[in-house]
Structure 1
Amino acid sequence: MSNTYQALKCNPDCNCDNDRKECIYERRYAEMSTSSGVLGVDVISFGNESELVPQRAVFGCENLETGDLYTQRADGIMGLGRGRLSVVDQLVEKGVISDSFSLCYGGMDVGGGAMVLGGITPPPDMVFSHSDPFRSPYYNIELKELRVAGKPLKVSPRIFDGGHGTVLDSGTTYAYLPGHAFAAFKDALIKETHVLKRIRGPDPNYDDICFSGAGRDVSELSKTFPQVDMVFGNGQKLTLSPENYLFRHMKVSGAYCLGIFQNSDSTTLLGGIVVRNTLVTYDRGNDKVGFWKTNCSELWRRLQLPSVPAPPPSISSSNDSSIGMPPRLAPDGLPLNVLPGAFQIGVITFDMSFSLNNSHMKPNFTELSEFIAHELQVDDIEV
């Protein structure tokens, strides 16, 4: 155990164990996984690449995990929501960051990305939506309209304001629409993809909406799947590429399934799939959320290496000038630092190809990159 760790003693502001000695917690998530344990205080480090110095913070020390939290590859979960125990709130209260943070998720099959704690100067073509902190305890945006292939869904704008409103949740994988909105979206999408063949989903326990015949190249999906626009209350819109609403069929090559589902209640829930290859800035201090299309898998490398041009999105099906392409240079305010104590002398690029006899086999690129990093004696993030 860490020699700087301390259990949070029972007090009126927390739930206490049966002996009333320690603070405890229990969390249940949308997919019904759970996490429970005790609350503790320790020094949290943010990695060698971060400008943030280690900080003492309260966090949950797990004793039990169930569901996806237990089976996932990641170990634990980081809370970035609103609330006194959120990592962001604690850092803001300490005065070490401004009341803002940004996330950028990599694209389909790619992974990677970046997280920035604190404020950044937004790119000039970043699209914003108002986020009302009093609307719900979550990060809300003002979604007023969905368009498929440029055609608005025939639903009332009020449908996106039911329940908790439209919630942007980085911890949720897929997206969920209220019943009528989902039905309209599904029908519009099927109408625009009539040249593709409808097939069964990869899991017989779920009635997934899947299509075959689109090909394996993700960058070509916009030729067979329509563009989807999210229009916000201020009139600005964010254009979604097919990778922002599809996931790859795990059993049929060149097939994809709809990653937007019907919600069991009236809340509109937008998960990580919607913001693939999108820098999302949660500007809590100014009650707004910003969206900027970019190549998130390359963004972290650009944050580390000075004078590296801004990467374009890996997929772009947008013709809307309000989104546009990223500027050639990194936006002001992003920390462009090389690793501490290191000299940047160049960038080595090499290509690799794989030949697989079994089409169901998939190389473990994460493990491969870790092996290469070990052999080159560099950090994993540099590979």
Structure 2
Amino acid sequence: MSLSRNSHVSVWLLSLLCLSYASCCFGFGTFGFDIHHRYSDSVKKILDVDDLPEKGSFRYYSDLAGRDRLIHGRRLATENDQTPVTFLAGNDTYRLSLFGFLHYANVTVGTPGLSFLVALDTGSDLFWLPCDCTSCVHGVNTSSGVVNFNIFSPNKSSTSSKVPCNSTLCELQNRCSSRSSNCPYQVRYLSDGTTSTGYLVEDVLHLITNDNKSKAVDALISFGCGQVQTGSFLDGAAPNGLFGLGMDKTSVPSILAKQGVTSNSFSMCFGPDGIGRISFGDKGSSDQGETPFYLRQSHPTYNITVTQIIVGGSAANLEFSAIFDSGTSFTYLNDPAYKQISESFNSLAKEQRFQMNNVDSSFPFEYCYLLSSNQTRYKYPTVNLTMKGGHQFFVNDPIVEIRSEEDANLYCLAVVKSDSVNIIGQNFMTGYHIVFDREKNVLGWKPSDCYGTDNSNTLPIRPPTSSPVPATTMNPEATAGNPNNSPISGAPPPMGNHSPKLRHLSYALTMILIPFLAMI
């Protein structure tokens, strides 16, 4: 695609995104944008990628868990009432099937502005982009041709400058040859040699107020000019950059708060259809559930404390800490939490447990159940976590549905036994507006389908009593529930159901826009 055509596509895409944003995203009082998912049907169809596993197959979930294992090891080497803000292209986020089962957003950086489709990760701090790179992903090969990505270059942006080693933002000063040399950075993952390496730069991140006035805001931020990407970054995970949302001073939420652009809080909404929202400065609402962050660590994360596990209405008092991580597909628990939730679920499941003897060892789930060929509906035990402080967090959809190679229908408890930290992943966050309030040091949550202007159009917490058997192509993003609103607190019924995905105009627009997100 030529540069001229790119510019026209950018204008067209921005107009459509802003129309969609204006119709559904006001009311958070924040800067926000939509997020998308790697294995979504829309991306798979539009980008026409042939090498993706069939949705709902054993390989599908094995691949997702493999991505999670890469993400788990990451480590960085290195009160005002402001109007909340979001990205210039709008507050939509997209869960893209093609790129690592992470949530993505279209961000605009530099002068003239260039768009990048970046992965959103609350488990990392630094924002980095492919930049004058010798090892990075320049595009995606599909059967219809090459989809090209933008590559950032400080020399081509009139507002860009390099961060020197004597800056307070430089965390690797011991690697500098002099105080005036460029500040290096490195984001390192412990698995499969996955890294991003380069130097820090400053430039403008183009934002817009998340209100009816839609006022443009240009924030000067620092980010990584990623010259060398290795490992998973060359194989589909975050191919066009990664947007760190962690607690460190290098993260964009920290920079925006320090500059007084917005409050030191942000939110992410994880929609059941793979479309969500992100908003900077969003402090949530008075009726949300809340729990304090557990911050007694050398590298603070969004770590919370669970005090009770409730499966099928039966409660077990068990205290453990867990990280809320948007960069992880599933929920990972150590013993005794894993044993408690899985064995309780197993004791209440009505169907026969599926024998995993012939399933590849990379398949992540241990507790799966066989549905008979003539079975038209099924029930499964509900799952609820009680957080420190007493507020309850109901899991809208604790299962995934699978069709085996023998053409058998299964459902599995979507919790993986961890050999390291406990992580609450995206699957448990689906159907919630999650607030990361760094001023109050609390995590907030409220049921939402991510389309309501004020979160009033919420997902149900109390599911119906039965569920349809999955179709040939399974839908792991489906949501349990009925059309009635329910409060945060209160014990759920013992069994839940599986229901179809929500369908909205914005989702249809997204199916049209996704290929252009990757090309502009």
TM-score normalised by structure 1 residue count: 0.70
Mapping for residues 113-128 of structure 1, pairs under 5 Å: 113-122=276-285, 124=287, 126-128=288-290
Q: Offset of 1:142 from its aligned partner?
A: 2.2
Aligned with residue 289 of structure 1, among 437, 443, 447: 443
Letter in 2 for 1:82: M
Whether 1:246 aligns to 2:246 is: no
CA deviations 1:246-296 (Å, max 9, x no partner) are 34437567534433222213x322122211110011111112111111113
- Report the Cα distance in structure 2 between the residues aligned to 1:87 and 1:41, rounded to whole angstroms: 12
- 1:81 is matched with 246
Partner of 1:370: 513
CA distance in 2: counterparts of 1:74 and 1:256, whole angstroms? 32
On the 8 A contact 2:267/2:284 being kept in 1, the answer is no
1:82 Cα deviation from its structure 2 partner: 0.8
| Contact 1:197–1:213 (CA under 8 A) maintained in structure 2 | no
Change (3 A) 1:351 1:104: closer
Conserved 8 A contact 2:291-2:389: yes
CA contact (8 A) 1:7 1:22 kept: yes
The amino acid across from 2:300 in the alignment is P
Are 1:94 and 2:94 an aligned pair?
Answer: no
Contact 1:292–1:323 under 8 Å retained in 2: no
From 324, 327, 338, the counterpart of 1:182: 338
**Secondary structure, counterpart of 1:183 in structure 2:** helix
In the alignment, the residues of structure 1 paired with residue 400 and residue 227 of structure 2 have an alpha-carbon distance, to the nearest angstrom, of: 33
Q: Choose from 104, 118, 127 the match for 2:269.
A: 104
* Secondary structure in 2 matching 1:63: strand
Please name the residue that 1:224 is paired with.
Answer: 379
1:22 aligns with 2:197: no
Amino acid at match of 1:285: E
**Contact 2:434-2:446 within 8 A present in 1 as well:** yes
Worse-matched range after superposition: 252-261 or 110-119: 252-261
SS of equivalent residue, structure 1 residue 92: helix
| Structure 2 SS opposite 1:274 | helix
Cα offset for 1:36? 2.1
Higher fraction of strand = 2
Q: How does the TM-score come out when normalised to structure 2?
A: 0.53
2 CA distance for matches of 1:58 and 1:149? 47
User: Which structure 1 residue ranges, 5 or more long, are not aligned?
Assistant: 325-347, 353-364
Q: Which residue of 1 aligns with 2:157?
A: 2
Partner of 2:301: 138
Equivalent positions of 1:1-80 (< 5 A) are 1-11=156-166, 13-16=170-173, 19-20=177-178, 21-29=181-189, 33-46=194-207, 51=215, 53-70=217-234, 71-72=236-237, 75-80=240-245
* Mean Cα deviation higher: 80-89 or 114-123: 114-123
Q: Deviations over 1:17-44 (max 9, x none)?
A: 5655211112234765432221111111
Verify: 1:213 aligned to 2:371, yes or no: yes
- Contact 2:309–2:318 (CA under 8 A) maintained in structure 1: no
Q: Which structure has the higher relative contact order (CA within 8 Å, separation 6+)?
A: 2
Residue type of the partner of 1:246?
Answer: I
Distance 1:263 1:36 in 2: 29
Q: 2:459: which partner in 1?
A: 312
Give the letter for the 1:53 counterpart.
V
Q: One-letter code of the match for 2:228?
A: L
For 1:34 and 1:259, the matched residues in 2 are separated by 28
Segment drifting more, 174-183 vs 61-70: 61-70
Q: In structure 1, give the amino acid aligned to 2:391.
A: Q
Unaligned runs of 5+ in 2: 1-155, 461-478, 491-503
Residues 163-182 of structure 1 correspond to what in structure 2 (within 5 A)? 165-182=321-338
Structure 2: distance between partners of 1:293 and 1:369 = 27
Q: Deviations over 1:224-248 (max 9, x none)?
A: 2211111112121111122xx3344
Given residue 64 of structure 1, which amino acid in structure 2 is its aligned partner?
V
> Cα–Cα, structure 1 residues 143 and 119, in superposed 2: closer, same or farther, change >3 Å?
same
Q: Which residue of 1 aligns with 2:425?
A: 271
Q: Rate the CA distance shift 1:237–1:29 in 2: closer, same or farther, 3 A.
A: farther
C-alpha distance in 1 between matches for 2:247 and 2:436: 11
Partners in 2 of 1:9 and 1:351 — Cα distance? 43
Asked if the contact 2:200/2:222 (under 8 Å) is kept, the reply is yes
The 8 Å contact of residues 241 and 316 in structure 1, kept in 2 or not, is answered as yes
CA contact (8 A) 1:173 1:271 kept: yes
User: Are the equivalent residues in 2 in contact too, given 1:196–1:214 (CA < 8 A)?
Assistant: no
Rate the CA distance shift 1:14–1:230 in 2: closer, same or farther, 3 A: same
1:149 to 312, 328, 332: 312
Q: What is the distance in 2 between the residues matched to 1:34 and 1:57?
A: 22
Matching residue of 1:357 = none
Deviations 1:172-213 (A, max 9, x none): 222211222212222112222241451549754335323343
User: How many residues align structurally?
Assistant: 314
